[in-house]
Amino acid sequence: MSNVFQPIAKKDFDYAAAQHLLNRAGFGGTPAQVRALVELGLDDAVDYLVDFKGERVSNDGFAFKNDILRAQTPQEQELLRRARIEKDTETIARLERERQDRQNNDRAQIAAMKRWWLARMIESGRPLQEKLTLFWHGHFATGYRTIENSWHMLMQNGLFRSNCAGNFADLARGIISDPAMLKYLDNDENRKSSPNENLARELLELFTMGEGNGYSERDIKEGARALTGRTFKVNDYFFDKQVHDAGGKQILGRSGNFSGEDFISIILEQHACSRFVAYKLYRFFVSDAPTITRDGVETIERTAKALRDARYELRPVLRALFRSQHFYAKENRLSIVKSPTQLMVQTVRSLGTPVRSIDRLVDSGDYMGQELFQPPSVKGWPGGRSWINTSTLFMRQNTAVFLISGRSVRGPAPDPTKDGGKPEPFDAMHLVDHLRDSTGALDARECVRSVASFALGGDPGAARLAELDAYLESVGGAGGGNSAIKSTIKSTINPTINNERLQALLCLIAAMPEFQLC
């Protein structure tokens, strides 16, 4: 039997394969960018993405404050204490108002962070870095509303970004030192005298080994003891030795006076951990179809082995996965349901539409079920088909219409650069420029075929093309024309293509069910 984890033949890295790679290891790209990847060839194209060779994103200078939710100063505490004794309701109310102002400012800041990150995903020349950051955010899920500290969410985001393709061990060790996570899973209350098992349980169940994969309730209890004392002060990790349980523990068959770091090391030795991480990578990057095929199972096993061989270094594993036969197999083309973020970012990055309004895109993401910095639970976003229901499907179709045309259910987005309330223009013709003949003319039907297979990431099929042709014929040639004549001789009239029609066609293509797949 052939090994589906082996790389594909270099010659098989064609346009469709390159587009598949760019969609999965990033958020898609324009036809020109796809062609550039084809020219690089398989190995260099994969390296380009995995080694983050593109340009850094330009909006790094975004300023966020780390002290909005500072604790009360000793002076304020004293003021409050005396106000309470003296029943000085005015001072108490003022301090309460100030506290609420700080909380409101922090909520405004997390809203700004959502815009910042989404813009970053749209702009970054290192798309895999942002995509992996999103992957780890969903893996080590932490929600702002539980911790209510935007700076801590940003620090966690930084932890994911700096280690996203580094070593999984660093991520796992980082997360048990991360204020946002320590707060989210109550480890700031995990003390020797009253252990809190929340972090230990989720660490095993959701972050490393997976439920039912070889650990026991006892391992959770003992692991929780190893994690006691790991808390934070203001914005920094703090090890509170006083409340750490330094006694002997038995975890996963090993005995010793284990610390939190030791707990992680013991977990990493388990094959179940490499398998679970491989499985999560597979679901995110290769396929989220309900059933995993035999080749899929084999790929997960081999990815797990590659992780162990590389001592959890992620880059070599990603490199192998993105070159593998299974990754490019027919069964895995268009086998992932785009996340709301993928849908928006890929539409902008591949069709080259204006961003229009980052605010509205953030809102759309929320309504479609993916609020950044707010996964629905510690399990992260379940992904796959759970993204899709009758209401999110309309939102998805309408978000695409908004990006392409500027029209939205809330009225057109005004052009930020001009007055007059008209949407920012979008020149879609760049998608077909390479089809111009020597005189610069375009064949409308050829354009339809090219744009449809590009936007859908594959052959749309005859029935779909017939619908697109039907639209073009209904709007006719350059001057519109008499519909009676058109109906009799429509096959001989060649409809013309222009920017407005191309946009309309794109809206229709984006409303095809298969547009939701990548």
Partner 1 sequence: MMHEHAFTRRLFIQRGCALASLAATVPYFIEQSALGMLGDPALSSQPGVPDERILVVIQLGGGNDGLNTVVPFGDDEYYRARPQIGIRGPGAAAQNGQPAALALDGARGVGLHPNLAALKELYDQGLVSVVQGVGYPNPNRSHFTSMDIWQTGRLDAKGSGWLGRYFDNTCGGTPKPEAAIAIGRNAPLALEGDVQKPVAFESPSLFRWIGQDLHPSLKEPYDRINRAGAAASPTGASEPDSQKSFLMRTALDAQLSSDRIRAAAAKDPLVPYPQHPLANQLKMIGAMIRDGMPTRVYYASMGGFDTHGSQLGTHGNLMKQFAESVQAFQRDLKEQRNDARVTTMVFSEFGRRVKQNASGGTDHGTAAPMFLIGAGVKPGVFGNHPSLVDLDQGDLKYGIDFRCVYASVLEDWMKAPSEKILRARFANPHLFAAKA
Q: With respect to partner 1, which residue has the nearer C-beta, 393 or 435? A: 393
Neighbours of 59 (CB within 10 A): 14
- CA gyration radius, the chain: 27
Which residues in the 461-500 window bind partner 1 by CB under 8 A?
Answer: 461-464, 467-468, 470-471, 474-475
Q: With respect to partner 1, which residue has the nearer C-beta, 313 or 467? A: 467
Stretch that binds partner 1, among 131-139, 307-315, 422-430, 502-510 (CB under 8 A): 502-510
Cβ 336 to partner 1 shortest distance, Å: 8
Asked if 347 is part of the footprint of partner 1 (rule: CB under 8 A), the reply reads no
Asked if 397 is part of the footprint of partner 1 (rule: CB under 8 A), the reply reads yes
Cβ 28 to partner 1 shortest distance, Å: 17
Distance of CA 53 to the CA centre of its chain: 20
Cβ 383 to partner 1 shortest distance, Å: 12
Which residues in the 398-437 window bind partner 1 by CB under 8 A?
Answer: 398, 401, 405, 407-409
8 Cβ contact list (under 8 Å, min separation 6): 17, 42, 323, 324, 325, 328
Q: Which of 291, 438, 439, 482 binds partner 1 (CB under 8 A)?
A: 291
Distances in whole angstroms, Cα of residue 480 to Cα of each of 32, 427, 471: 32, 21, 12
Q: Which of 36, 38, 243, 289 binds partner 1 (CB under 8 A)?
A: 289
Stretch that binds partner 1, among 5-13, 171-179, 315-323, 385-393 (CB under 8 A): 385-393
Q: How far apart are CA 108 and CA 101, in angstroms?
A: 10
255 - beta bridge partners? 250
Cβ 379 to partner 1 shortest distance, Å: 9
Which residues in the 65-94 window bind partner 1 by CB under 8 A?
Answer: 89-90, 92-94
Q: How far apart are CA 32 and CA 22, in angstroms?
A: 12
Q: How far apart are CA 452 and CA 437, in angstroms?
A: 20
Cβ 153 to partner 1 shortest distance, Å: 14
- 8-state DSSP, 66: S
414 Cβ contact list (under 8 Å, min separation 6): 420, 421, 422, 423
For 191-227, b where at least 16 C-beta lie within 10 A, e where not — what string?
A: beeebbbbbbbbbbbbbbbbeebebeeebbbbbbbbb
Q: Which of 3, 58, 216, 389 binds partner 1 (CB under 8 A)?
A: 389
Token pair of 382 as six digits:
């379940």
Which residues in the 162-221 window bind partner 1 by CB under 8 A?
Answer: none
- In one letter, which amino acid is 420? G
Q: How far apart are CA 251 and CA 219, in angstroms?
A: 5
Q: With respect to partner 1, which residue has the nearer C-beta, 123 or 202? A: 202
- Per-residue mark of binding to partner 1, 122-151 (x: CB under 8 A): -----------------------xx-x---
Q: How far apart are CA 412 and CA 422, in angstroms?
A: 7
Cβ 180 to partner 1 shortest distance, Å: 15
Which residues in the 320-339 window bind partner 1 by CB under 8 A?
Answer: 334-337
Q: With respect to partner 1, which residue has the nearer C-beta, 36 or 393? A: 393
Name the residue among 445, 513, 447 with its Cα closest to residue 473. Answer: 445
- Using CB under 8 A, list all residues that contact partner 1: 89-90, 92-94, 96-97, 100, 145-146, 148, 289-291, 334-337, 363, 366-367, 376-378, 382, 385-386, 388-394, 397-398, 401, 405, 407-409, 459-464, 467-468, 470-471, 474-475, 503-504, 507-508, 510-514, 516-517
